């Protein structure tokens, strides 16, 4: 005795029940009753029809829950070394007392400030004060020739005026 399963609803069909439909492409469908056949022809989705086996399976209906709960694994913290720091170094820093840590921090800050001061001083030495700007009248005075006649001043002397 062969028990078939309905193509739409998923129910079991015993011999002598149901209807077989073969499409032109060769696919065969077996339906339990006219309701299933009509729903298939109307292209209804069996996963959205509440009474089908597919719907009940999808929405977890009728499944009896297990009595014992599944135990979740506890995560175990595992210490490993990081690149550039061994495990002993990491543990030593963690177990360090706050006073020692504060002293180290202050010492590091002091060293950084000292280094910064040294760099500023070095920059100041490299940067010499720029030469004083020369006035235009001084340049012209150095270029002009003293006139031979004191009564007749040079043209350049007139341009200079009083600098």
Q: Across the chain, what does the average pLDDT equal? A: 84
Indicate whether 148 pLDDT > 80.
Answer: no
Compute how many other C-beta atoms are within 10 angstroms of the C-beta atom of residue 13: 20
Compute how many other C-beta atoms are within 10 angstroms of the C-beta atom of residue 37: 19
Query: Alpha carbon of 42 to those of 34, 37, 46, 51, 157: distances in Å?
Result: 12, 9, 11, 17, 114
Q: What is the mean pLDDT of residues 82-99?
A: 86
Note the pLDDT of residue 87: 87
d(CA 44, CA 30): 16
Note the pTM of the prediction, 2 decimals: 0.41
Tell me the pLDDT tens digit for each residue of 105-137.
Answer: 999 999 999 999 999 988 888 876 666 676 776
d(CA 9, CA 3): 14
Q: What is the mean pLDDT of residues 71-92?
A: 85
Note the pLDDT of residue 147: 47
């Amino acid at each position: 005795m062969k028990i078939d399963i309905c193509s739409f609803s998923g129910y079991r069909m015993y011999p002598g029940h149901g209807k077989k439909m073969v499409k032109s492409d060769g696919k065969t469908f077996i339906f339990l009753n006219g309701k299933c056949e009509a729903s298939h022809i109307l292209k209804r989705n069996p996963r959205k029809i509440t009474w089908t086996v597919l719907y009940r399976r999808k929405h977890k209906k009728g499944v009896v829950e297990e009595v014992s709960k599944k135990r979740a694994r506890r995560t175990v913290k595992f210490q490993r070394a990081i690149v550039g720091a061994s495990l002993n170094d990491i543990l030593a820093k963690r177990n360090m007392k706050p006073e020692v840590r504060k002293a180290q921090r202050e010492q590091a800050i002091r060293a950084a400030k000292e280094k910064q001061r040294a760099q500023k001083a070095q920059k100041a030495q490299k940067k010499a004060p720029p030469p004083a700007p020369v006035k235009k009248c001084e340049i012209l005075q150095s270029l002009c020739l003293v006139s031979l006649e004191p009564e007749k001043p040079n043209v350049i002397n007139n341009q200079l005026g009083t600098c």
